[in-house]
Amino acid sequence: MIEMNKRFLLQAAVAVLALAAIAGCGEKQAPKPAEAPKAEAKAAPAPPPKPEPLKAAWVYVGPVGDAGWTFAHDNGRKAAEAEFGDKIKTSFVEKVPEGADAERVFRDLATQGNKIIFATSFGYMEPMLKVAGEFPDVKFEHATGYKTAPNMRIYDSSFYQDAYLAGIIAGKMSKTGTIGFVGSFPIPEVLRNINAFTLGAQTVNPKIKTKVVWVSTWFDPPKEGEAAQSLINGGADVLLQNTDSTAVLQTAEKNGKYAFGWDSDMSAFAPKAHLASAIVDWSGYYKKAIKDVMENTWKTERTVWGVKEGANDLIKIADVIPEEIRKKVQEIKDGMKAGTFEVFSGPIMGNDGKERLAKDIKADQAWKDKVDFYVKGIDGKIPSAK
């Protein structure tokens, strides 16, 4: 009998543990409830037939936090909310894993009456495509992907422009002549950034070398820090990263080297090491997309914005950077704004000695989508993505 009781207690205890774990997960994935009651309270005492607010939802891959990729998207959401006021009602779901869970979240959001849904990570592409087919009346927007549908379109930014500007600074600030890059995955987007960073640095110091270390993750601070440490140990003294945490910057600070912020202003995390922050501002696009739905002008297309449209910028340029370099960065930035300056202008040589872009030719979007090489000046080979 005592044995039975013990077994029962065990089962109860394990069940409680399991439930607590599940409850912990559930809480994060539910849309923020804070917004819902506010809107209801507004709707109740309004007898005149006011038009229903347009419901828009965002799906984030990480927590919003204080810095980084998801933080930047959420700032865009807030800007859209401020722009349209009570004409729209926004909500977001954070920390949605890429894969089967995402599909469920998209379906839930569509069923809840959202008319436009933004998916802010590459891995949401297939799940979103599937759900888009089931809800023809809902508009789906996917960041950084390449597949579209009649009611699903894609948008992207031009981070490589920021990386190029950062490169100009890195080329000047590097004393060892070696700069480092902590890469996430060897996809065209990241390779564009590494190449642009190197090309930018070469405009100041033609002999500069870039070392690259891949961490196979978007977000793993200890690993990003270890990768940064090994780059520094290998002689790199200015670092840039394509991962989302502040670990690379903090590792540079610890070692008395330089690095850049990525995605959002990270100057506070490393006052001495921080040279500038490459940022992305999605608010313009989010306003446009919601306006398209409101005015029935939404159509499937691909939008790539950059410095010209105010989507990308290099901000908080540190005081240690010499005046001539600041001027140079500003000049190039002005060229990007005017649309006259193209980062990838021929001749561009691969580090295998092959010419990748002929002289006097400016790269088009198709070329940029297929970048699969290191430019001259980068050490090593790209790990095969097979």
Partner 1 sequence: MNELALLLAATLASGTPLALAGLGLLLNEKSGVLNLGAEGMMLVAAVAGFAVAFHTGNDWVAFGAGALAGMAMAAIFGWLVIWLGTNQYATGLALSLFGGGFSAFVGVNYVGKKLAAKSAFEVPILADLPFVGPALFKQHPMTYIAIGLTIAIAWFLYRSRAGLVLRAVGESPESAHALGYRVRLIRLGAVLGGGALCGIAGAFLSVVYAPLWVEGLVAGRGWIALALTTFATWRPARTLLGAYLFGGVTMLQFYLQGEGVEIASQLLSMLPYLATIVVLALISRDPAWIRINMPASLGKPFHPGS
CB of 24 to partner 1, least distance (A): 3
Taking CB under 8 A as the rule, does residue 211 contact partner 1?
Answer: yes
Q: Nearest Cα to 160, choosing from 350, 284, 342? A: 342
Which residues in 78-137 contact partner 1 (CB under 8 A)?
95
Nearer to partner 1 by Cβ, of 25 and 36: the residue is: 25
Please pick, from the candidates 58, 60, 71, 305, the single residue that binds partner 1 as defined by CB under 8 A. Answer: 71
- Distance, CA of 232 to CA of 239 (rounded, Å): 8
Quote the least distance from Cβ 152 to partner 1, whole Å.
29
Q: Which residue, among 382, 332, 377, has the nearest Cα to 162 in the 3D structure?
A: 332
* Binding residues for partner 1 restricted to 243-272, rule: CB under 8 A: 245-247, 250, 253-254, 268-271
Residue 238 CB, nearest approach to partner 1 (Å): 14
Is there binding between residue 227 and partner 1 (CB under 8 A)?
yes
CA–CA separation, 57 and 95 (whole Å) = 14
Shortest gap between Cβ of 84 and partner 1 (angstroms)? 28
Given candidates 123, 221, 346, 350, which one binds partner 1 under the rule CB under 8 A?
221
| Rounded Cα–Cα distance for residues 255 and 245 (Å) | 18
How buried is 326 (Cβ within 10 angstroms: 0-12 exposed, 13-18 middle, 19+ buried)? middle
The answer to whether the CB of 368 falls within 8 A of the CB of 188 is yes
Stretch that binds partner 1, among 100-108, 125-133, 206-214, 284-292 (CB under 8 A): 206-214
Q: Distance between CA atoms of 247 and 213, rounded to whole angstroms? A: 14
Q: How far is the CB of 20 from partner 1 (least distance, A)?
A: 6
**3-state DSSP assignment of residue 369:** helix
Q: Which is nearer to partner 1, 26 or 48 (CB)?
A: 26
174 binds partner 1 (CB under 8 A): no
Select from 130-138, 242-250, 292-300, 317-325 the region that touches partner 1 (CB under 8 A).
242-250
Residues 244-252: contacts with CB under 8 Å, at least 24 apart: 244/62, 244/68, 244/69, 244/70, 244/218, 244/219, 245/68, 245/219, 245/220, 245/221, 246/67, 246/68, 246/221, 246/270, 247/221, 247/222, 248/182, 248/224, 249/273, 249/274, 250/225, 251/224, 251/225, 252/228
Residue 377 binds to partner 1 (criterion: CB under 8 A)? no
Residue linked to tokens 């999605």: 282
Provide CB contacts within 8 A for 97, sequence distance 6+: 61
| Interface pick for partner 1 out of 1, 4, 24, 47 (rule CB under 8 A) | 24
**Among 25-33, 117-125, 297-305, 360-368, which window interacts with partner 1 (CB under 8 A)?**
25-33
For the CB of residue 370, give the shortest distance to partner 1 in the complex, in Å: 21
The residues that touch partner 1, with contacts defined as CB under 8 A, are: 6, 9-10, 13-14, 17-18, 20-25, 27-28, 63, 65-68, 71, 95, 180, 211-216, 219-223, 225-227, 229-231, 233-236, 245-247, 250, 253-254, 268-271, 379-381, 383
